[in-house]
Structure 1
């Protein structure tokens, strides 16, 4: 089982992905990959601190280690910054579970990512997918289909150790978002997938018994 530590910031929006956002993301450059379409299966949880999912036959578990004080990022408003631990059992033997009353949620995604090497005294350097990601930052744009509703999510994630949230991580985030379209509405939710899924289940009064 492989384990990693991440610092993450994520926003969710309930709407179709706006063309202006898709066009902006394309201006970030290409790392030689196309959009990745996949179906993930999440175990419905009553805790925003634990995420369990099956992705492409792998079992993945995420645990919230720390939630930092809310910070203000320009047009996004107040946002959560979180530190997560993630473990992946990558034997690809897990089968897609039955959804519905068994407590599993099917989430269809189309995800795009860009990875950058972080050298704190130098500009961010775009790196190909497959390059070792230690001390790297990713920006992700993903469209979501859940319960016949459409969402999209934007996230920034740092994979590494010994980073200052205020002086380094947030500086990186603002650099990546410097040309983000200024006309967007406020996000519906700022937080990780477990919190988002809990909110959806509560709003729709979904039972997982």
Structure 2
């Protein structure tokens, strides 16, 4: 089980070049995960913005929103909603899909193609932020990711912060990295109305449940 405090925005279209340049800047540290392609398969749950069920290859994940927290404002261009989530995951070491293909055909599952870049930061009690490798295990920190999304040929992009650590430190870790990160952010608005998690984003999509998959 993993408990996190998260801040995320969704916007339509491709990632703007100025946002890509900002995220890739050397000032954010030497450790940077190159864009990684993946496909996540979500269970579509209409009118449900607090529960996410996802399958990626042999990993099955469930995320439940525990609380809606503060609205975080950073200057004139950035405002978002912080949420607290709990996540459970399991894997099948046999390399077989946890959900049979027949079940995917019969149920409302939707494929989301992603190209994700990620950074990871360790946070100290003195509010210092240190770049670390994405695969390094640390106790207190925050992941930052930028993702190009393709859902049934509709393009979106997402920018997110996901803080982890002791429960009492989650908001501190998130705010510390957010304040440090957005000091150099370009003149592109991240608005409160676009700040939410994947379950709510999926509910916005004009999905035809009968044709989620073309086998």
Q: TM-score scaled to structure 2, two decimals?
A: 0.84
Task: Tell me, in whole angstroms, the C-alpha distance in 1 between the residues paired with 2:56 and 2:174.
Answer: 28
* Residue range with higher mean Cα deviation, 185-194 or 113-122: 185-194
- The question of whether the paired residues in 2 share the 8 Å contact of 1:5 and 1:84 is answered with yes
Provide the residue aligned with 1:163 in structure 2: 169
Provide the residue aligned with 1:44 in structure 2: 44
Provide the residue aligned with 2:16 in structure 1: 18
Distance 1:31 1:78, change over 3 A: closer
Q: Secondary structure at the match of 2:119?
A: strand
1:191 aligns with 2:196: yes
Question: How do 1:173-188 residues align onto structure 2 when only pairs under 5 Å count?
Answer: 173-184=178-189, 186=191
Q: Secondary structure at the match of 1:133?
A: coil
Distance 1:30 1:151, change over 3 A: farther
Task: Tell me, in whole angstroms, the C-alpha distance in 1 between the residues paired with 2:133 and 2:180.
Answer: 19
Provide the residue aligned with 1:7 in structure 2: 5
- The question of whether the paired residues in 1 share the 8 Å contact of 2:145 and 2:161 is answered with yes
1:59 aligns with 2:65: no
Task: Tell me, in whole angstroms, the C-alpha distance in 2 between the residues paired with 1:17 and 1:69.
Answer: 26
- The question of whether the paired residues in 2 share the 8 Å contact of 1:62 and 1:84 is answered with yes
Task: Tell me, in whole angstroms, the C-alpha distance in 2 between the residues paired with 1:87 and 1:208.
Answer: 28
Task: Tell me, in whole angstroms, the C-alpha distance in 1 between the residues paired with 2:122 and 2:111.
Answer: 33
Structure 1 position 134, deviation (Å): 2.3
Structure 1 position 168, deviation (Å): 5.1
Distance 1:38 1:115, change over 3 A: same
Provide the residue aligned with 2:130 in structure 1: 125
Provide the residue aligned with 2:154 in structure 1: 149
Q: Aligned Cα RMSD in Å?
A: 2.4
Structure 1 position 14, deviation (Å): 0.3
Task: Tell me, in whole angstroms, the C-alpha distance in 1 between the residues paired with 2:150 and 2:192.
Answer: 17
- The question of whether the paired residues in 2 share the 8 Å contact of 1:61 and 1:87 is answered with yes
Distance 1:183 1:59, change over 3 A: closer
- The question of whether the paired residues in 2 share the 8 Å contact of 1:13 and 1:187 is answered with no
- The structure with the greater share of residues assigned to helix is 2
Unaligned runs of at least 5 residues, structure 1? none
Question: How do 1:97-136 residues align onto structure 2 when only pairs under 5 Å count?
Answer: 97=101, 102-136=107-141
Task: Tell me, in whole angstroms, the C-alpha distance in 1 between the residues paired with 2:100 and 2:116.
Answer: 19
- The question of whether the paired residues in 2 share the 8 Å contact of 1:189 and 1:196 is answered with no
Task: Tell me, in whole angstroms, the C-alpha distance in 1 between the residues paired with 2:173 and 2:139.
Answer: 16
Unaligned runs of at least 5 residues, structure 2? none
- The question of whether the paired residues in 2 share the 8 Å contact of 1:13 and 1:188 is answered with no
* Residue range with higher mean Cα deviation, 43-52 or 88-97: 88-97
